[in-house]
A and B are shown apart, each in its own frame.
Chain A
Amino acid sequence: MAEPAEKIQDVGLDDGAARLTPERIERVINGVLAAAGGARLRSYVETCVHCGLCAEACHWYQSFDKDPTFSPAGKVKQTMWVILNRKGKVSPEFIRRASEIASTECNLCRRCVHFCPMGIDIAYMMVLIRRICHRLGVTFCHHEPDVGEGR
């Protein structure tokens, strides 16, 4: 049976998020998107017809009893859609959750890409989220508290 998704305790995430300010988040996000978010990001987000056909592809979705929050498009919805809608004005708590999604609920296996009729590379968007979170210093450290330091 799948466990209900509970809030993960992680020093890297908690301490990283605690250090964030809204200005920094906005600056970093827009910096990353300006540099790395080009035609593909735009096309992927704007072409997704919200059909949900990618869900079946994802082993996270499957092993969490088809919880839609684990579906590939569901993960994009909770991360990239919000970031683009709010133009980077998101909270530290949001970044913490985004990091959790992009780093621990997606393995970038790209199986969903093979299921998307529109040819959308969902993993690519998860990589962008990971990059943003990394730049913001909100990354997983698993056990060792000091790895989360820096930047």
Chain B
Amino acid sequence: MKRLRTGLFLGVTAVAWVVVSSSIPAYSQEDITSLKDEAFGKGQRPPAVFVHEAHNEKAEIEDCNVCHHVYRNGKNVEDESSEDSRCSDCHNMKKGYPTRPLMKAYHDLCKGCHKAKKAGPITCGECHPRKGASGAHEAEGEH
């Protein structure tokens, strides 16, 4: 009985959370669990898993501008960051400015670091899990 009530409570909370979080357009980084940019349209792959806060904590990334960077004269400016913009505000779908289209910008940033650190997902299915964002974490434990 207790279990049922807990389940019910969690279920309602989850639904409420989904309704609330999806109805508020401006969300903060704590809420990010997966990445989906409308610039991709419908998209070919399931959204990439990325639990913003947990990820950066686990990966021990302190500087926001590793990802939210600002480039000037081809250099990543150390003390500036761009978390107020989306990747797609600067990296468009086509080649050209800056130098890589959006998908490649994501892949180079995420995979590039994972490869360099020899930690974190590097295969398509680990980042774009069919089971949805939650399944990926279980799958993650394998390696």
Check A-B contact in the complex, CB < 8 A.
no
B interface residue numbers (CB < 8 A to A)? none
Q: Which residues of A contact B (CB under 8 A)?
A: none
